[in-house]
Structures are given as structure tokens and as C-alpha cells.
Structure 1
């Protein structure tokens, strides 16, 4: 409908659209539509998708034409440039399976990085350097422009894979920046100095988050750089404040006060979140984890969460959205959600409709019921979804956590925990 409206520039509706979106009034060419454009722009025979580079070759096979035709047609609509080699080169590479061209596209990039090269090389049975040549042959740029001689070797492959696992290929670093935990773990596994690890990683066009590493990190040090305190991915981000969940989890795990936990992470060099304005409650760890039906990350103080996450978490904790927002605000989590004083029928529809963008609905709202009022009863959550730190894995934590006791003035539960030394993170062997 928009396409047809723009084709009739003098129509009243076209003028209204131009007022809303001034860019539509700029000089342009309206291309006459073809039946194949739905497939060309949608990436699928019925247009349900997003066009990827390899779609050009699939469309050319189905339409019985040369790939250069669909590629040129795509460019008219602003699709990324794709170079089609000459016929002899196409015959050499074969057109039966060109999905390897989509490797950068799947990560939302128009250029390839070392992780893409390793993936393409594994699929085609070629080296990373040969994969770079293939991608450049089709107009896809590669970062870095030149790979180190004979790279990557076995050591570099460990540095580029998560947890050093080159067999399962659990994680390949595609994008920057690389967190300090990965560098420290790689140094511990390979025996290299962390600065040498950083230098090797950066030779592949990746950036490492600035961090002050000890000369020889031990396992205790590496553990403190991971979210789950297990020395494995996911790693803590050194480019932003730690989450309130991370501080509270350390308190419970180590049996420390809030000041001790903050001091431990501060000594490591992490930026700390603001201190909460309230005493901790027994279920704060579960609340700050931010988990629901979907696998959400813990709530952050430097970025507002998605409204979907707030709705999901409130339903699973059995809290009204207003109560959830107030409790998060005490931990300096800015949600940017403004609620009306009293819900209307439209509010009920907005917050209870279950569609493709929402994995769970908000607790039912009734006409005239305040959004901050009593919601539906708490929903059962499986232990694995409560947080990435199961109670049975917390050092010194009782199995019946959270306790029913009230919090103390220091912000720690009154339950007794085994106390460990706050200086442990910087101990090196």
C-alpha cells in the first residue's frame, strides 16, 4: 500500500505521508513492481524473511536466470552490494549451496571477521585465509585486511574459542570487545602472559576491554571475572557497571556484607552500581536476576530494560508492574515505564495480549483496578530459571534460601554464612 501511494505523488495521502516522513519528499525513482520482487526482497518464496546474500543464487535457480540479474535488482531497493564473479568462477565454486555467504549477515554485519572466516573455512574445508579470499571475491570485506602468517595456529584457536574449546566450537569471538575474563582464562590455560593473549587476539581485528591484569592469574582470579563465579563464560563486562544482581550474589555466595562484596569487585577494577536505597529482601536476588519465560539478562543500572522483560518478570514473580518498578528503582534500575493511576480497558488489552513478541502475558487487570494493586498469585518458577546461580552452588548458602528472616541493617540476610576473605580475588599462585 505504501509503495502504491508513493507512486501517485500528487495524491492527498502521499502528501500526508511526506509531512510525517519528510525523506519521502526527496527526489526518487519508483520502480515498477514484478511478481518476483516479493521473493527477492523477502528472502523466501512467500516473502517471509529478510534477504540474505545467498538468496540471489536460490532465486536465480528457481527463475532460470543468471545471478547477476537478481543481484542488480536487489540494489535498486537498497540491498547490500553483492559482486557476482564471472561465469567461470561461479562454475568453479558451484552454486548448489551458497549459504556460507550469509555468515556475516547472520550476525548483522556487512563485513566478515575472524569468527566468520573460521566458520566458512570449516564449512568449505579450506583455511581461514582462503575463506577471506572467497568472501572478498563476492564483494564482502574482511577485517582484518591481512591475517598473520600461518594464522590461526593451535594456540590462537584456543584464544579465539570460548573456554578454549576448539572441538565443540562452543563460542567463536565474532564481535568486539572481548571481556577480561576470556583473556585471563586463556592466559591460565595456555601459560601465556595476559598481555600476550591480548596482543594475539587484537591481531585478528578484535578489541579487548581495557583491564589491569596480574602477571599470572590463578583460578580464583578467573572465577571472579565470570558471572557465575565458575571461571567460565558468561564473563563480566568491564565497559559498564556491574549489575546489582552480581553484587548481591557475591554477598550470598561468600557470606559477606554488601561493603565487602563491593570492595572485592572494586579492587578488581570493575565499575560498581550505585548503592541501593533500601535494605535487601529475601527474594531480591530472584527479582534482580530478571528471569522469566525468556532467558533475560539481569537488570542493569546503565540501560533501561525492555518492557517485555518487565511484563514477563512481573508475571512470574506474581508482582504488579508498579511494585516491580518501585523495587527496581531502589536498586537504581531506570525502567522508563510510566504507568497510569488507574487501568482502563485499553490498558488491560495492552498488558494482557499474548502475541509473537511476548512470551507471557501480564497478570490480569480489571476495569478500574490500579496497576499497582494486587495481581495474580505467584507463578511457580523452576530452580534453573530463577538465576544462573542455583542455591545449592552458593558457598555456605543454606538449601532453603531464601530464608524467612528479615534483612539486617547491613543489607545482608540474618542467616549465618561461612565467611571468606574479601582479599581472595587478587591472590595469585
Structure 2
């Protein structure tokens, strides 16, 4: 099924517009190859070769309203670990689509229609990748912008359909997205309103309704996320915000964006380490060049106090995280200071200090410096860095490294990590890398 979809997509490239033969064909790509060598402190050596090839074909019609894109990559690796077997059986189609701009009827609203590989991003809960089908985007009907897609079923994917509609007016914005995939119905409603000049109110509700068969008498489970909040600009340099959020225990959205999964303190997914609901509040202010902020989150049972400023060229940042569930306890305190300065002409150095205190490890000091050399013409652009981490007299770790991009296009780097760290997950030893990237 997938091969037939690919063939159909490529065929449509030639059928969409009569001006296609007057079009310009663009070809580009890139080849990246890297070799990593690591020797740990016990003398064990490991190597890790990697490579990546991308081939892109693009086509624009004479009127610039129709585009076609085909992107290939390499599939299986060869016996040496490098995926450079350039034969027809090892080429993998990564992406293939055509797009055309225009209305569906005379005098109708303009829209962009795509056939082929879809790239759907209707918000943090409505992201669909690796799907072939048809999508329509950017269709404005009065104050409403409409987007929709239909994913063609294949051996790897079921049919997925979705729609997103957004309305924007003076001091008001609202939107909704729905994705249906036969197993579940995924819905999102969000909006914001500005009832007065310095006040913004907003909210978001997301729900996932399971469509699998249930026994008679049982209710279909609906998993959800709710967040409502407000922000008020008290004065030019002071703002406050607050709200309420709740997440059901089984809330695990199927079409969540990768960036949302990695966002700590997020509203996106349920975590066992926190409450299912709670209030949050915060204040941010700027005074005499100092950025101050204080935030409280009931779901995490923690408060965060922070300050940032620049003093005589020194960037200073301080942050303290407090646990507030049973009394007030300090979870961590971090102080970061850095400054860039010129030693001599052609030699700029950035000096850094970081001090972090936690109940488990105590106070850990990290002192480091980075520079890029311009003094020696033969290795102009050579980057050097060093760092020392001290927990106590018996726990001292260090890191030194260098990186250089040679005139022939090869990137070289070497890093040595030694000593003893309070964080046992830090990988010690010497690592050297060499790589080259070519674009064409």
C-alpha cells in the first residue's frame, strides 16, 4: 500500500499543472559522516561510526503555485556500521509530497493543498508525523482559519483524520482541534481573551475518548487535561499570573509533540510524582536592571525563586527551588556567573562559575573557561574549553577539550574527562571525534 501511495504521489507531480514542463527542477542533499573514538580510564576502547545521507528533489512550476518535494535516505547499515550502501535496495523514501496554492472554487478562499507525506502540527496534543495522505491548510473563511487532513491507511498506520479551526478577533482568540483514529477521539479547545488593556485570561481543555468496545453498563473512559489562567500587567515592570490545572491519571495523549514530552513542569502529561490538580501563581518584576521572579506550583508542591542581572559585564543568575508540601525545605540552589573579556587582540575568553547545592550532594563548585583562538593563523578558530568540578577534597572532577574545523571541511574534537564526580552518571575517559559534512 505504501509503495502505491508513493507512486501515486510522484505521478501527481506530473499531472497537477499543465505548466509543469516549464518548471525548474531543484536537486540538493547532504552527506554527514562521523567517527567517535572513546577510551575509558580502564583502557577499554570503543568506536562508533555514523553517517547520514539525504537526497532532495524539488520542483516549482512556472507560476510558483505548485511544488513537489522528494527526499531519500539510506536504510540498512553495512557490516562496518556505516550506512553508505548506495544501491537501489537500500534507498529509503523519507518524504514525498506535492503542494498547490489556490482556491477550490472560483472566488473561493485561498488554501494550500498537499498530497503525500503529511506534517501536521495542530498544537502540543495534535501532532501527526510519518503519515501519507491529503491536507488542506491556511483556508480563511471570514475570521476563521480552517485546516484539515486525511491520512491514508497503510500496513504501518491506520487511517487518521483531523481538523483544526481558529478564530481571531480584536482581543479574542479561540481554537479547536479534533483527531479521529478509529481507536480514540482526541479533542482540544483553547482560547484567550483580553477584557482590559493589561489583563489576559486563557484556558485549554484536551480530552481523549477511547472508542474500544466496553462491557454493557461500563462507561467509556475520558482522559483529560484542563488548564486555566490569567496574567495581569500591574505596572510597566511588574506582572502577576496564576491559574489552575488538572490532569486525569490515565492522560497520555497519543499525538503529543516531542518537545512537550521533555518539558519539565509541563501541563501536557500525567506524572506519578505530582498531584493530579492544583493552583499555580507567580510574580515577575524588573528593578534597577535586576530580573526577579517567584513562582508557586501546587501540583509539584514547590516554589521557585530566581534573580538575574548584569554587573560590570558579569552575568549573574540565582535560582532556588523550595519543597513546600510539609513545611519549607530547600531542594536546590544554583548560582551561575559568567563573563566574556578580551585578554589580548585575537584572544577572547569566557570565564564561568556554577555553584549548586542539593541535600544529597551538598555544595558542588564548577569553574571553567572557553575561548576561540585567533592568534595562530594555521588553526584559526580553534576552540578550547576547560572545567573543574569540586564537591569535596576527595571528589574533584575535570574536563578539558578542543574543537577545530579544518579548511578541508573536516571537524575535529577531543575531550578528556577525569577525576571523580558526585554525579556517577558522568562518563569519564577520552573521546575523540572526526567528521565531515557535505552539502550539494
How does the TM-score come out when normalised to structure 1? 0.29
More relative contact order in 1 or in 2 (CA 8 Å, sep 6+)? 1
Write 1 or 2 for the structure with the bigger share of strand. Answer: 2
Q: So what's the TM-score if we normalise by structure 2?
A: 0.29
- The structure whose residues are more often helix, as a share, is 1
